[in-house]
A and B are shown apart, each in its own frame.
Chain A
């Protein structure tokens, strides 16, 4: 019942924005070696040897030249039970002082890369790790690593309102003010994906339409202004502009290159890639609502028995499997709905407590799973 009425209250508009020309200063790329980070937030693999790492506190993206560090391990990723304890032990801290912020699988080597914060608060140290097919966990030092970096222009203020009817509740955007176990999560930079020579980045900016999708050509030269994109959020009964996309994947829907994205409480939305023109504003098509009080975390696309599926993990509602076949003809949701609506999906009962999700190979997902005892296991699972 709580979910039902909660939906009635939240009326939020979401805008993704891809930017046009940068404001003077701050948006041009810099380069160097031995980068430092304030808060490693999210990762994405780029072209050969490049790993993109977003700093959620500085609101920057760094392209790390890690060809050497990506090579050399045993291919694949071995399951590691209690990986939080193992990593914490290497770093010399108690596991309760370790926060894993992202996990991605290298599509070439199938090694798993994990970003984490050692410690909490202002003294926390960002750490990047690699797990290989033999189960070896290595800290990847940034010493002497070549990098290029772009700062996101017009970064968001400390807080962005969550709109509740006519009320605006301030929600912290930056990692230093966000409870890592809370519903909302860090909102400055939420997700990245490298598509056809461009890095797509979701997050917030300091604008009326706060939610942004930036499209940044790589190699980095500059970051342009964004395209604002709003969506109708059926379970909240309103347009969303303040809350960011939390995860997305590129996917071609009936021949149209698209971005499939998900938001808090938990609409699934499609945007044609062609819509992300600098300076414009687009409204995505809401094709499903997956229920309230829930933040999407990761999405992957896979094929099974000739059918394409999206697998999406959430911080509350478990993993959902969504056949993509109906996406092209799905009607947009344009009015308030009850709990869930739109294209069909199923909850994957075998995947409980999934905190991070990525594609390991054509038949397996790599999962970071919270156990009943509170620890974290790294394990591969058959794609459902």
Chain B
């Protein structure tokens, strides 16, 4: 990301304070010209240097003949990371000089940082002409008595907050009180910083629900960092184990809650969200039945069509698992390539094949990991297991639903 923004960077020097700062003991600046000046030289985003232009030839020659030690170089020409609180010329001596090499090139004194200047980072540059080699022997020109200062910055393209929360899943206005997880979907990739601090769940009085989510700082992102998963604490969701008995479920049937996504959640470019996000939902009775594929209804297109296969479920299923736990195999048994859409509050799954449907028997395959929003699987409701004993009463299983694609007109 940083490399991209660098490549896209417009290289500009931001002139903050190009004028000289007079020393108190040399009140007259005079009018000598041309005075030396500090410039940012940039041949490529990663190849930038600071140059002092217009130094006397005898100084440059002396510096070339007899290079200085690092401490002497940094006393002559000092580049520091800019401080928000200190003035350009003040306190640069207290801040570490940026590591780099000094050289005389093309009639200029050049400082090249050991690590490329960062885009969007301001640097303060101070030249102390009194440290020039010939300074003690010359009748000082007026500029010789002044610190020459300048702030430089490799400006990145100006960034605007553009990333938005696109959706929250489950998307139904009512969820079961034993809902196990939710997903926040963004319009663009997000940063790696943890999401927990940017999410709040409010009850209907507007008070934050205490510890509704799994207390684990594990960030559960999809591959391109656009969908974030939040787990309700399964210890509180599952009946009969200690947290549930002590604290009850985080969501209570009959009540209304609001999920709040703070605007400060940084996206992959470090920008906040374009807007805060709130989503209100009601909570209904718990969903405690296993998924039953026999209850699904299939609308099957005809041969030659590339219309979607439409599968309708009697209850919403988990949004993320619907993207990968349902597949279609063709008459030859191979997986059919196609695109998936999830609609109707996750009660409808549509599959558009890359090539038109052929006459024959296809299969809709559901992996055993498929869950509804409360963690119930095919043949295995969430509540059957006895976690404390490590006991498993029923294994979740995959399912296969055959359907026939018929010739047109049948």
Among listed B271-279, B331-339, B359-367, B387-395, interface-contacting one: B387-395
Q: In the complex where A2-B215, A5-B235, A8-B235 touch, is A119 in contact with B2 (Cβ < 8 A)?
A: yes
Contact A139 B99 (CB under 8 A): yes
Contact A123 B3 (CB under 8 A): yes
Task: Write the nearest CB–CB distance from A235 to chain B, whole angstroms.
Answer: 13
What 0/1 pattern do residues 199 to 214 of B give for CB contact below 8 A with A?
0000000000001001
* Sample of 17 more A-B contacts, CB < 8 Å, known A92-B81, A137-B96: A5-B236, A6-B243, A8-B235, A8-B241, A8-B387, A8-B388, A86-B96, A89-B96, A92-B118, A123-B6, A165-B385, A170-B220, A172-B219, A178-B192, A179-B192, A183-B216, A184-B217
Closest to B82 in A: A94
Cross-chain contact of B242 among A4, A91, A167 (Cβ < 8 A)? A4
Main secondary structure of the interface of A (DSSP, over half): mixed
Task: Write the nearest CB–CB distance from B375 to chain A, whole angstroms.
Answer: 8
Q: Does A330 contact B (CB under 8 A)?
A: no
Q: Which residues of B contact A293 (CB under 8 A)?
A: 215
Cross-chain contact of B2 among A2, A5, A124 (Cβ < 8 A)? A124
Q: Which 4 A-B pairs have the closest CB atoms?
A: A5-B243, A89-B96, A123-B2, A183-B217
Q: Which residues of B contact A97 (CB under 8 A)?
A: 118
Q: Tell me the bound Cα distance from A166 to B390 in angstroms.
A: 8
Q: Which residues of A contact B113 (CB under 8 A)?
A: 92
Q: Which residues of B contact A66 (CB under 8 A)?
A: none
Q: Which residues of B contact A11 (CB under 8 A)?
A: 387, 390
Closest to A89 in B: B96
Q: In the complex where A5-B241, A169-B231 touch, is A139 in contact with B114 (Cβ < 8 A)?
A: yes
Q: In the complex where A123-B3, A172-B219 touch, is A89 in contact with B390 (Cβ < 8 A)?
A: no
Q: Tell me the bound Cα distance from A92 to B267 in angstroms.
A: 24
Q: Does B234 contact A (CB under 8 A)?
A: yes
Contact B388 A182 (CB under 8 A): no
Q: Tell me the bound Cα distance from A121 to B243 in angstroms.
A: 38
Q: Tell me the bound Cα distance from A88 to B388 in angstroms.
A: 49
Q: Which residues of A contact B44 (CB under 8 A)?
A: none
Task: Write the nearest CB–CB distance from A248 to chain B, whole angstroms.
Answer: 23
What 0/1 pattern do residues 1 to 28 of B give for CB contact below 8 A with A?
1110010000000000000000000000
Contact A179 B217 (CB under 8 A): yes
Q: Does B193 contact A (CB under 8 A)?
A: yes
Q: Does A171 contact B (CB under 8 A)?
A: yes
Chain B interface size range: 35 or more
Cross-chain contact of B1 among A8, A89, A121, A181 (Cβ < 8 A)? A121
What 0/1 pattern do residues 60 to 95 of B give for CB contact below 8 A with A?
000000000000000000011100000000000001
Closest to B231 in A: A169
Q: Does A164 contact B (CB under 8 A)?
A: yes
Q: Which residues of B contact A325 (CB under 8 A)?
A: none
Q: Tell me the bound Cα distance from A167 to B1 in angstroms.
A: 33
Contact A125 B234 (CB under 8 A): no
Q: Does A1 contact B (CB under 8 A)?
A: yes
Q: Which of A42-95 contact B (CB under 8 A)?
A: 86, 88-94
Task: Write the nearest CB–CB distance from A173 to chain B, whole angstroms.
Answer: 12
Closest to B223 in A: A158
Q: Which residues of A contact B100 (CB under 8 A)?
A: 92
Q: Tell me the bound Cα distance from A163 to B49 in angstroms.
A: 51
What 0/1 pattern do residues 251 to 280 of B give for CB contact below 8 A with A?
000000000000000000000000000000
Closest to B392 in A: A166
Q: Which residues of A contact B118 (CB under 8 A)?
A: 92-94, 97, 119
- Highest count of chain A CB atoms <10 Å: which of B115, B220, B231: B115
Contact A122 B1 (CB under 8 A): yes
Closest to B95 in A: A89
Q: Does A177 contact B (CB under 8 A)?
A: yes
Contact B99 A91 (CB under 8 A): yes
- Highest count of chain B CB atoms <10 Å: which of A5, A169, A172, A178: A5
Q: Which of B365-410 contact A (CB under 8 A)?
A: 375, 385, 387-388, 390, 392
What 0/1 pattern do residues 90 to 110 of A give for CB contact below 8 A with B?
111110010000000000000
Q: Does A9 contact B (CB under 8 A)?
A: yes
Q: Which residues of A contact B231 (CB under 8 A)?
A: 169
What 0/1 pattern do residues 108 to 131 of A give for CB contact below 8 A with B?
000000000011111111010000
Q: Tell me the bound Cα distance from A162 to B211 in angstroms.
A: 20
Q: Does B218 contact A (CB under 8 A)?
A: yes
Contact B215 A6 (CB under 8 A): yes
Q: Does B162 contact A (CB under 8 A)?
A: no
What 0/1 pattern do residues 139 to 156 of A give for CB contact below 8 A with B?
100000000000000000
Q: Which of B95-125 contact A (CB under 8 A)?
A: 95-100, 113-115, 117-118, 121, 123
Q: Which residues of A contact B385 (CB under 8 A)?
A: 165-166
Q: Which residues of A contact B95 (CB under 8 A)?
A: 89
Task: Write the nearest CB–CB distance from B55 to chain A, whole angstroms.
Answer: 23
Task: Write the nearest CB–CB distance from B48 to chain A, whole angstroms.
Answer: 10
